[in-house]
Structure 1
């Protein structure tokens, strides 16, 4: 069995009150973190910002791609300018 480690974090009172109502906080938080890590941005690795070099590459990328909002699901996604007529679903 792998050794378990304990992590703590600070939160505001509102979130603390919501978490207090969850029967198994540890399991809930663990699953939420695992899900979030699986869905992080592949470019920034979940940091929320790009390095200057990544920003330069993104600027170049956006010369042949655009960001558009899907009319069906409202998700923002990349569209290659040569593939505008293809479905993304």
Structure 2
């Protein structure tokens, strides 16, 4: 699953207006080129999330610089952080 959150509501990239609220897309929604462009865009936080139907090797969050695995400007919501920690502990 690919989760995209815009730093500014309505920001457009890859033919879509992205929301300031996280929006989930199936892994095959974007072409490889589109996904790379989205990950390189500093106005977007792009997370590639491993799910039960995915062959993704692990959770990755990228925003602005595809060489980084986290966006330090984005702070997880407390409930999301707890859920992520619990998910990782279960693995």
Which structure has greater strand proportion? Answer: 2
Larger radius of gyration: 1
Confirm or deny a common fold (TM above 0.5): no
TM-score with structure 2 setting the length? 0.23
TM-score, scaled to structure 1: 0.23
Higher relative contact order (CA 8 A, sep 6+): 2
